[in-house]
Amino acid sequence: MIDKLIKYFKISFKFTNENWIIILIYLLVSLVVPIFIFLLIGLNVILALLSIGLISNFGSDPLNIGIIAVVGFFVIIFDILFFSAIILFFSAVFTGIRASIKELIKTEVKPNFDLVFNNFKYFLKRSLKLSFSFLVIKLGLLLIFLTIEGFVAGVFFFLRSLGEAPSIISIIVGLIIGLLGFITYLIFIIAIVYMSFWKKTSDTQMVLEDSEWNEAFFKGRTTLHENWKIILLEYFAIVIITMVIMYGIQMPIAMLSMIPIIGVLFGMISWIVQMTWTTYIAIFDTVVYLLILGDINKKINLEKLENKYLQETKEN
């Protein structure tokens, strides 16, 4: 298994370096998202200042408080919808990039913006439906988590409000409630991580097999369960590579940004370096994952890729 994973990594490294235009496209998309987030934050700050100004000029009577509460409620709803839309859009774009990588692996086409845009349009509806399904499940998990944690916090503050010396019963109840809160948090984190693996696998399956979103949804879970060992091994390998780059390259440059005056320049360099290597790792990881699932499902001719990329490496 490790030998095969090393082979996937070697091919992916060679492929990613040759198709740098895909990295550039992903980098440009990644730069667009923070712009919209900053605009949203700016809108929230403006509304908060207007609310403070309303109270300062007209007092905190029930009508003003009611207006602010209603506006605040709609702002929260808008923020949730806005962030959900960004997540769905970014997922659809990345599905287009993943599909383009699949085409580049299987055919001799050249990487370009049109290729990514055409794949983005082709998979758009299916990608949005698939991403929306996982988003709803994650929001449901979050709601359950917040409900249980809210109950735990309520019981905790109730015990604190009694104001008496803690009895044996209250101590035991407190320990049980605290343990419940910790277990709930642990289960929530595990569930979110599991859902992330499931979505990544389903998305890759949809692209590899050109299947409908609901087929990919269920087949992704089956594929994840049947091949969890190599999937986890790949994940931890990517994490180790990321940590090495972060502590070996990123942190020294980030530390230089603390130097007075010239630190601003190093800060900008650090940000550019971080964006570049995180984008590279994201594309590299996508290629590796496509090779793993493509090889498992016999959708990618691994022998052909070995002859193309690994043979070139030996000759060079």
State how far the Cα of 88 lies from the Cα of 130, in Å rounded to an integer: 9
Mean pLDDT for the chain?
82
Structure confidence by residue, pLDDT tens digits, 1-38: 788 888 889 888 988 888 888 888 888 887 777 777 78
Mean pLDDT of 277-293: 90
Structure confidence by residue, pLDDT tens digits, 82-126: 888 888 888 888 899 999 999 888 887 787 888 888 999 999 999
How far, CA to CA in Å, does 246 sit from each of 31, 241, 252, 257, 265?
20, 9, 9, 15, 19
Alpha helix ranges (H) inside 59-167 = 62-106, 113-161
Classify residue 94 as exposed, middle or buried by CB count within 10 Å of its CB (0-12, 13-18, 19+).
Answer: buried
Give residue 221's pLDDT. Answer: 92
Structure confidence by residue, pLDDT tens digits, 56-87: 665 556 666 676 677 777 777 777 888 888 88
If one counts the domains in the chain, the total is 1
Torsion of CA 190, 195, 201, 207, to 10 degrees: -160
Structure confidence by residue, pLDDT tens digits, 174-211: 777 778 888 888 999 999 999 999 999 999 999 999 88
State how far the Cα of 112 lies from the Cα of 226, in Å rounded to an integer: 35
Give residue 123's pLDDT. Answer: 92
Give residue 235's pLDDT. Answer: 92
Show the domain range for 182: 2-315
Give residue 76's pLDDT. Answer: 78
